[in-house]
Amino acid sequence: MKKYRFVTVFDLLTEYITQGRITLDRKRFPQLATYHDPCNYGRKAQLRFGHGFFEEPRWILSQCVERWVDLYPDRMNQTCCGGGGGTLVTGYNDERIYYGRRKMEQIKATGAQMLVVPCHSCHGQLENIKAHYGRADLEVKYLWELVADTLVLPSDAT
């Protein structure tokens, strides 16, 4: 039987960085960043498959920025952003926005200006609720968006 290889976003980004296929500039985003562990990449992956992706995204983030801090609590004990389980499209929006209050409190407590996430649902949720919780200024970025925005290109050499 033919075998196929499945890679996560973390596997591929790590591969590109460690093999020197891409170079990143850690000075472009001097503001303080923080990282949100998605339930499915982290806790549920750990519970279901025996490996939660906790360290991989943090290593990648460290290649992109110089200053970042963890939320508290994080990893296995992280708080759901509120956008999981399909709640972004079930129509139960009042509930969904309410669930996000703890995540927004955590983010505010770090003083971070930028929130990095590697999940489409978490990104959609946090982008959607940030103004509701008084943080319209919070920059919500996909992890791979941050990588793309810190790429050093041949044309950058001046």
Partner 1 sequence: MTTPTDVNTLRLDAGRNWPYSQDACMTCGMCACVCPVSGVDGFDPRRLIRLAVLGMQPELVESRWPWICTMCGKCENVCPMEVRIADVVRRVRSLRERDHVPGSLHKGLAAALATGNNLRLPKEDFLFILEDVAGEIREEPGFEDLQVRVDKKGARVLTTIHNKLVNTHTEDLKHWWKIFHAAGEDWTVSSENWEGTSWGYFTGDDAAMKTMAGRILQQMEALEIDTLLWPE
Which member of 65, 84, 97, 107 binds partner 1 (CB under 8 A)? 84
Please report whether residue 70 would count as binding partner 1 according to CB under 8 A: no
Beta bridge partners of 114: 33, 139
Which member of 67, 92, 110, 139 binds partner 1 (CB under 8 A)? 92
Which member of 14, 16, 69, 113 binds partner 1 (CB under 8 A)? 16
Q: Write the CB contacts of 44 (distance below 8 Å, at least 6 apart in sequence).
A: 52
Please report whether residue 98 would count as binding partner 1 according to CB under 8 A: yes
Please report whether residue 76 would count as binding partner 1 according to CB under 8 A: yes
In whole angstroms, the minimum distance from the beta carbon of 12 to partner 1 comes to: 6
Which member of 30, 47, 72, 109 binds partner 1 (CB under 8 A)? 47
User: Omega into 30 within 30° of 0, i.e. cis?
Assistant: no
Three-state secondary structure of 81-136: CCCCCCCCCCCCHHHHHHHCHHHHHHHHHHCCCEEEECCHHHHHHHHHHCCCCCCC
Burial class (CB in 10 A: 0-12, 13-18, 19+), 18: exposed
> Which residues lie near partner 1 (CB under 8 A)?
2, 4-9, 12-13, 16, 21-22, 39, 43-44, 47, 76-77, 79-80, 82-87, 89-92, 95, 98-99, 102, 120, 124, 142, 144-145, 147-149, 151, 153-156
